Amino acid sequence: MFAVGIISSLVMRLTGVTNTENQEALNEMCKSLPVIVYFIATTGAGFFEEMLFRVGLFELLFNKWPKIAAIMSCLLFTLAHVPTNFASFVAYGSMSLVLTGLYYKYRNFYLNSSVHFLWNSLAVIVFLMSSK
């Protein structure tokens, strides 16, 4: 995920994008909520996203076709984060590839939700430290 973050940042800089619209919406939400509520909402979202986009697709809808589940998982996760330009598509698409790849290989919800939680936690911490 760190490598994906670095690559996404590089693509954003090369294309002149400073942030994704999804992240800007989260940043605005942070301004109107207590920090702890924002942290729980942002990091908790990963739990539900992993349940929906990985477990739901791999175990319920496409359990006999893991490659189709992986393609649908990558696509739907990316689209759910509403990419509005090439840079945001690369950012969310590459994160989706990493998370879907982990689930495809290990089929472990706890691993995926932990990685997703840690990534979102890092994003929240960086935002809070940069906004002071």
Q: What is the pLDDT of residues 62-106, one digit of tens each?
A: 999 999 999 999 999 999 999 999 999 999 999 999 999 999 999
Which uninterrupted H or E stretch holds 38? helix 35-50
CB distance 91 to 23 below 8 Å: no
- Give the dihedral of Cα atoms 90, 84, 58, 63; nearest 10 deg: -110
Number of domain units in the chain: 1
Angle (CA) 27 121 130, round 5° = 45
Mean residue pLDDT of the chain comes to 94
Per-residue confidence band for 132, with pLDDT thresholds at 50, 70 and 90: low
**Full domain range(s) for residue 16:** 1-131
Reported as a pLDDT band with limits 50, 70 and 90, residue 27 is confident
